[in-house]
């Protein structure tokens, strides 16, 4: 049975410094992020920047944001999010210059492609995945 949608519908990566985190993700993933309006009742102490996505046309994948919110602390050891790439080694090569760390260089997870594990400027570990 084919699922009607991908299992992940949304994600939030919590950060301490939004400007620093935005610069890191835009540099490593070669993207432009956009501010997302703050939901009613959550003004002050809450910021969101959205990763590029096409949620209206239900494109494959998941939309998500960087979030800065009082009471939430970024760091490794929680949920691991993988970003899809053409060649995860290319994105991993941008990590150190963007202020992050490469935890594990590109390696095979045959027959499912390749991954790199990196740590962003906020201490979050994220994955990069590609088929090549």
Is CATH 3.40.50.261 what the domain over 10-36+45-130 is classified as, yes or no?
Answer: no
pLDDT value at 3 more than 70: no
Q: How do beta strands 34-35 and 63-69 pair?
A: unpaired
Q: What is the pLDDT of residues 26-70, one digit of tens each?
A: 999 999 999 988 777 766 778 899 999 876 776 777 888 999 988
At residue 54, the pLDDT reads 79
> What residues does each domain of the chain span?
10-36+45-130
Query: What pLDDT is attached to residue 63?
Result: 86
Cis amide prior to 20 (ω within 30 degrees): no
Report whether pLDDT(8) > 90: no
User: Residue 66 burial (CB < 10 Å; 0-12/13-18/19+)?
Assistant: buried
CA distances from 44 to 35, 41, 59, 112 (A): 15, 9, 32, 43
What pLDDT score was predicted for residue 44?
A: 72
Instruction: Give me the pLDDT at residue 34, please.
Output: 94
């Amino acid at each position: 049975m084919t699922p009607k949608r991908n299992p992940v519908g949304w994600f939030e990566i919590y950060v301490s410094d939004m400007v620093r985190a935005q610069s890191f993700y835009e540099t490593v993933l070669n993207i432009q992020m956009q501010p997302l309006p703050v939901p009613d009742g959550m003004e002050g102490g809450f910021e969101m920047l959205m990763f590029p996505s096409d949620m209206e046309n239900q494109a494959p994948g998941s939309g998500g944001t960087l979030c800065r919110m009082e009471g939430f602390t970024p760091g490794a050891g929680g949920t691991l999010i993988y970003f899809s790439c053409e060649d995860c080694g290319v994105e991993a090569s941008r990590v150190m210059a963007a202020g992050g760390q490469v935890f594990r260089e590109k390696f095979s997870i045959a027959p499912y492609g390749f991954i790199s594990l990196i740590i962003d400027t906020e201490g979050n570990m994220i994955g990069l995945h590609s088929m090549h």
